[in-house]
Amino acid sequence: MYKKVRGMRDIYGEEVEYFKYISEIAENIFSLYGYNKIIVPIIEKTELFQRGVGEDTDVVEKEMYSFQDKSGRNITLRPEGTAGVVRSYIENGQHKADPVQKYYYIGPMFRYEKPQKGRYRQFFQIGVEVFGIKSPLIDVEIIYMLIQFLKELGLDNLKVNLNNMGCGKCRKKYIKKLKKYMFKHKSALCDTCQRRLESNPLRILDCKKCGKKQFIKNTPRIIDNLCDSCLEFNEKLMNYIEEFKIPYSIDHSLVRGLDYYTNTVFEIIAEDLDSSQNQIVGGGRYNDLVSTLGGVERPGLGFAFGFDRLVDLVMEKELEIKDKKPSVFIAWYLNDKNELLKFANKLRSDGIKIDFKYKQVNFSNQLRYADKNNFDYVIFYGEKEMKSEDIHIKNMKSGEEKNIKFKNLKKFIK
């Protein structure tokens, strides 16, 4: 017997309904804010992620599924969505035709990580990317939109953690101070952070091993080293945050895990969840990424969240899926199966979700099947009903049974 590859999983049954439910809410809310769906390839050239995400990040160093295809090209299964969307924005000329573009995407990503609950090697992300807007108003609007989306899913006690990574100029000065400070504590750093002390010291702040050590908490703060332009941007951002009454905290160690971030970085946490599992979504600005990947200078901003973890959280709350279509099972006894299929297709053409057993068995067996598979309604259909305009139907939740006219069926099924 063949088994799935480690870190991959099958998604079926009730979980699929939650995937659909969350996707539909995301698409509805994001479209209200003017975002259009974009679909980009699952595979890209490896150098796109090396250049865009950063060669010294955990994603590129340790987690990417990269290989050579039959033509000898180095390609990678996408580990995140932003780089591919930026590549599309540039390649298809959108950065020239209209600088302001707002996209959302839903799809699988791939990272070679230790599999655990809510974290898989093939995982699903929903993300948003917006280009061409300098104003911090868009930063706040995105955060506000995210909070509305998460509340719609029944997640409460949400808080935003914020930091400002600065621009290329002020961050360069800050990194010098950071290096000087970290060299004093070099012996206390893990092996990876000792190596990154030279190549990418910001990643030390993001390290799970070193992050809890006391000297890290006393690290010089990025926000104290911002240039005048970045300080002005940050001040406007905080005014908007206050005006929209968004609950927040400043987290000076928040740098996110990817190299392309500038200025605003954020994450949203659910405070009533365990601290090791309470981060739901993260994102930030990447004002230099479009030009880094070959386009003209255009500011960018985005976020992404893991679909799998979010599905787990919503399922744990045992929320009733509001817009789930009621399912109807036909318990039948007919001499002519063609009439059964005609009847089922007639109901389906009216937008009613229908199923039945293809082999004829007694009504008791069919009812047990309908109950076991959680159908909402059962329609009894035999020779008598076939010749009548009446339908005998049972609500499987309440146990109510009644005869109704066919034309009234859609009103009865809710």
Give the global pTM: 0.86
For residue 195, tell me if it sits in a domain.
no
pLDDT score of 275 more than 70:
no
On whether the CB atoms of residues 104 and 32 are closer than 8 A, the answer is: no
Percent pLDDT > 90 in the chain is: 53
CA dist 166 → 175, 176, 275 (Å): 11, 14, 27
305 and 340 part of one domain: no
pLDDT score of 348 more than 70:
yes
Q: Is 28 helix (H, G, I), strand (E, B) or coil?
A: helix
65 and 153 part of one domain: yes
- Sequence-distant (≥ 6) Cβ neighbours of residue 208 within 8 angstroms: none
67 and 149 part of one domain: yes
For residue 192, tell me if it sits in a domain.
no
On whether the CB atoms of residues 30 and 128 are closer than 8 A, the answer is: yes
Average pLDDT score over the chain: 89
pLDDT score of 87 more than 60:
yes
Of 316, 343, 365, the position where a domain reaches its end is 316
Give residue 27's pLDDT.
95
pLDDT score of 205 more than 90:
no
246 and 395 part of one domain: no
Q: Which two tokens stand for residue 55?
A: 């060669």
Cα separation of 125 and 80, whole Å? Answer: 8
Give residue 203's pLDDT.
80
pLDDT score of 320 more than 70:
no
247 and 346 part of one domain: no
Of 316, 338, 356, the position where a domain reaches its end is 316
List 285's β-bridge partners, or say none.
Answer: 262, 301
Q: Apex CA 271: angle with CA 266 and CA 277, to 5°? A: 75
On whether the CB atoms of residues 93 and 107 are closer than 8 A, the answer is: no
163 and 255 part of one domain: yes
Instruction: Give the structural domain span for 350.
Output: 327-412
For residue 190, tell me if it sits in a domain.
no
pLDDT score of 28 more than 80:
yes
332-347 pLDDT, tens digit each:
988 888 889 999 998 8
Query: Looking at residues 203-208, what average pLDDT do you find?
Result: 79
151 and 58 part of one domain: yes
Cα separation of 93 and 315, whole Å? Answer: 41
128 and 266 part of one domain: yes
For residue 131, tell me if it sits in a domain.
yes
Query: Looking at residues 261-277, what average pLDDT do you find?
Result: 81
153 and 94 part of one domain: yes
104 and 244 part of one domain: yes
On whether the CB atoms of residues 290 and 85 are closer than 8 A, the answer is: no
Give residue 276's pLDDT.
62
For residue 322, tell me if it sits in a domain.
no
Q: What is the CATH number of the domain that holds 392?
A: 3.40.50.800
Give residue 304's pLDDT.
94
pLDDT score of 322 more than 70:
no
For residue 172, tell me if it sits in a domain.
no
53-79 pLDDT, tens digit each:
887 778 888 899 999 999 999 999 999
On whether the CB atoms of residues 204 and 218 are closer than 8 A, the answer is: no
Query: Looking at residues 367-376, what average pLDDT do you find?
Result: 91
- Sequence-distant (≥ 6) Cβ neighbours of residue 230 within 8 angstroms: 164, 166, 167, 170, 263
338, with CB counted inside 10 A (0-12, 13-18, 19+), is exposed
Q: What is the CATH number of the domain that holds 23?
A: 3.30.930.10
293 and 334 part of one domain: no
354-363 pLDDT, tens digit each:
999 998 899 8
247 and 387 part of one domain: no
Percent pLDDT > 70 in the chain is: 97
pLDDT, greater one: 30 or 198: 30
Domain count, the chain: 2
For residue 28, tell me if it sits in a domain.
yes
Axis-axis angle for helices 14-32, 137-152 (nearest 10): 150
Query: Looking at residues 160-182, what average pLDDT do you find?
Result: 89
Of 316, 344, 375, the position where a domain reaches its end is 316
pLDDT score of 273 more than 70:
no
105-158 pLDDT, tens digit each:
999 999 998 988 878 999 999 999 999 999 999 999 999 999 999 999 888 889
For residue 211, tell me if it sits in a domain.
no
On whether the CB atoms of residues 12 and 127 are closer than 8 A, the answer is: no
31-58 pLDDT, tens digit each:
999 999 999 999 999 999 999 888 777 8
